[in-house]
Amino acid sequence: MHKIEKLFDINIVLMTLFSSVETIREEKNIELIYDMEATIPRELRGDPDVLLRVLNKVLTFVCQNTDEKEIVLSLDAPEDFLYEEFISFTINDIHIEKEKIRQFLETDLHDAIEILEGEIVYEDDADIHINLPFKISELGHRRHYRLPDISMLGKKVLLICENEAIAHSIEKMFKYFLYDVDVGFDAFKAQGNDLTPYDILIVDDHLNTEEFEHLIARIQQNIPLKYVLLQDAHITERKMISVSTNLIKPVTEESVYELIISLFKIQTASREVRSHSKINTIDLEKYLQSNKDSEKSEEQSSAVQESLEAMIEKRRGMDLPILDRTIGEANIKHTGLTYAHELKTFLDTFDRSDLYFREIVNQRSINKIKEFCIDLERQAKLIGAESMFKLAETLSLIFVYDKLDMLPIYPGKYHIELQKLTEAIKKELQLK
């Protein structure tokens, strides 16, 4: 039989494979993980249909016969993929009898592997090991992914993922792009629990909470942090305050490549200046796992109460400008808009908002309070309304940590602050 050679994307094959075994995986509650080495070319020449058929049979067999809840399909290739090389497909730790595996490979896969001119490898520690030859799409094209802009280089990633196999796989994929990657709570603690150095924070969706999203939104006022949720494909998306985008399982090099481009495609080559405020420091482990351990939650609540009180007390002694034009103009210089335009936008948005704020506080409309404070904090910072920004920042902490008993005094404070800021803005606009 003539060997077929078509140009194909290995990532498309893997995504199709993931969908093709979805039913049996869900029936047995099995997680499928792709562990791809950086040596795997993005585009190959060969027979993708037969490759898909082989891998589908392998994974179906494994799912039917294993009691494990996690299957890792590893892909590896030689460092110098010059023309035609073997790609290794291996699966380990499935705890199926060796003889049963051997019988399956020799009877069910023999013909398809022969079409691909591949080989079954028995002389190693892998439970299943198949080598299949493929050609590279372009001679000398060794680096398989190239980021389109220099501004996308040199990023630092914090990955919080409880599944070690998934975390290890994603870490390798980011390191392919020469990204610096910290994995887990311990690595973050070693950095002083400070989010300032990081460009991307990736968190398992099941660890995320709405309160945590609001806390990250507040931190994003100080640093250009991209917050990414690692999600299963079937998760229904909802409106989220601080989440930049999602990274959908199964993760491949292609999806990491697309993620990077989507996060930084509109960023300029110049790196943004980062605030080194203590506000960027957070105990992620306590916060993200608080729903699993009530004792930790109580300790965190006590610490937060002390932190809030200290911040409020500190603010009382601060003499902050009501409106600082220098700061405001610096904040909007890259937006293409004018300072006067942003001042008018603030007036249009927050005119008589003190009445609205009092109403939602009285009603204890938590979600509305959260959204209002995030918007106020963002807009106040943008125009250089330093005093209002600090008030909004305090409010953010109060509702993020569900300290609603502290809220009733703030409608009056906000009313006074809004009056002063409105007068300052109108005075500034009259000078134009």
Spacing of C-alpha 178 from chain mean position = 17
76 touches 90 (CB < 8 A)? yes
pLDDT, tens digit, for every residue of 413-422? 889 999 999 9
Comma-separated ranges of CATH 3.30.565.10 domains in the chain: 6-136
pLDDT, tens digit, for every residue of 364-383? 787 788 788 888 988 898 89
Three-state SS for 79? coil
Question: Which residues 6+ apart lie within 8 Å of 19 measured at CB?
Answer: none
Q: Whole-angstrom Cα distance, residue 328 to residue 22?
A: 52
The average pLDDT across 324-336 equals 80
Task: Indicate the CATH number of 6-136 among 3.20.20.100, 2.60.120.10, 3.30.565.10, 3.30.1360.100.
Answer: 3.30.565.10
pLDDT, tens digit, for every residue of 164-217? 999 999 999 999 888 999 999 999 998 888 999 999 999 998 888 878 888 888
Burial (CB count <10 Å: 0-12, 13-18, 19+), residue 236: exposed
pLDDT, tens digit, for every residue of 30-49? 999 999 988 888 889 999 99
pLDDT band at 87 (very low <50, low <70, confident <90, very high): very high
347 touches 317 (CB < 8 A)? no
Q: Whole-angstrom Cα distance, residue 329 to residue 383?
A: 7
Please say if the pLDDT value at position 50 is more than 70: yes
Comma-separated ranges of CATH 3.40.50.2300 domains in the chain: 150-284
pLDDT value, residue 393: 77
pLDDT, tens digit, for every residue of 271-322? 455 655 566 888 888 778 764 554 444 444 455 455 555 555 555 556 788 9
- Domain 150-284 in CATH 3.40.50.2300? The answer is yes
* Nearest alpha-carbon partner for 159 in 38, 247, 252: 247
